[in-house]
Chains A and B, each alone.
Chain A
Amino acid sequence: MSLLTLHNNLTTYLVIGAMLFGIGIYGFITRRTVISMLISSELMLAGASVNFMAFNRFTAPDPVVGQIFTLFIMAIAAAEAAIGLSIVVAIYRNYTSIETEDLVKLKG
């Protein structure tokens, strides 16, 4: 197995999906604005989609199912992004800030 035949290997895609997921987790923990956390969660969802598509390509008997599942993931992620961003806009109206440190109204 060399570098040029990596794309015919299930493990490559699993490692790629894990990389995307790890990058997303790192961003989700370290970023300080709500929009950046949303961007990181999109990266995590992309990692999950890559995993689904890899198993669909290499191990599933019916290669249609995984593609349909990935389509549904994309639709749900688009709905989540729309709702999340409108919540961000509403937060900005109330606090004039989107940093997570400033959203402390519930703090005792």
Chain B
Amino acid sequence: MNSLLLSSQTPALFSADGLAGLIFLIMVAVMLLGGLMACTSERLVRSVAGLVVCFVGVAGIFYYLNSPFIAVMEMLIYVGAVSVTIAFAIMLAAPEQSKKFGPCGPLAGPLGFLTAGLAFGGLAVLGYRTAWPVQAKINNGGMELIGVQLLQDYSMVFELVSLVLLIAILGALILARSGRNH
């Protein structure tokens, strides 16, 4: 289980490990391209398409992190539900194309790039320099165990999240309906 120490020798490209590494790189590229498309394209519909592509990549990365269940949930919730909701909101709220292009103000682009670069650099350097402690696994993290733990140790949080979702749905209905009369 101690996979931090397994990454010493390079596999051949057309072995199973090599192909797994190649597909991982493709997934990362898909995720980054989708994220950049979501954040830089002028049209909102293209941003949502970029978001979908990015979340497909993120689901692939979750698969490589030993959790196919979370990968499936990412596909279902984000690629399926959230993107469709955003597309509906775009249809309801943004009929005409904006006449003003580009970032708001002359300084927003460079300052945004600087802030994002600082955040990325700081987090990446911190993650690279720290010696993370590795402990032995006590189970394999399979889907059965997730179900058992959700209904035993985390049942309170589970119920609370259900309540939050219910209240959010009701609140969304009330908010979206309130201005319809006038």
Describe B's contact surface by its main secondary structure.
Answer: helix
A71 engages B85 (CB within 8 Å): no
Chain B nearest Cβ from A97, distance in angstroms: 9
A63, B6: Cα distance in complex, Å: 19
Describe A's contact surface by its main secondary structure.
Answer: helix
Interface size band for B = 35 or more
B135 engages A11 (CB within 8 Å): no
Interface string of A3-30 (1 = CB under 8 A from B): 1111111110111111111111111111
| Cross-chain contact of B108 among A25, A29, A65 (Cβ < 8 A) | A29
Residue total for A at the interface (Cβ-Cβ under 8 A): 84
Chain A nearest Cβ from B45, distance in angstroms: 10
Residues of A within 8 A of B3 (CB): 8, 57-58
B115 engages A25 (CB within 8 Å): yes
Interface string of B53-96 (1 = CB under 8 A from A): 01100100110111101100110011001100110111011100
B140 engages A30 (CB within 8 Å): no
Residues of A within 8 A of B73 (CB): 71, 74
Chain B nearest Cβ from A70, distance in angstroms: 5
Output the nearest chain B residue to A75 by Cβ-Cβ distance: B161
Other 20 A-B pairs with CB < 8 A, given A7-B24, A50-B61: A1-B7, A6-B21, A25-B115, A29-B108, A29-B116, A30-B104, A35-B86, A36-B47, A39-B51, A40-B39, A46-B55, A53-B61, A55-B132, A58-B132, A62-B137, A63-B140, A64-B141, A70-B62, A74-B77, A81-B86
Question: What are some 17 contacts across the A-B interface (CB < 8 A)?
Answer: A2-B10, A5-B21, A10-B4, A11-B128, A30-B108, A35-B90, A43-B35, A50-B58, A53-B70, A64-B141, A68-B150, A71-B70, A79-B168, A82-B168, A83-B172, A87-B175, A88-B89
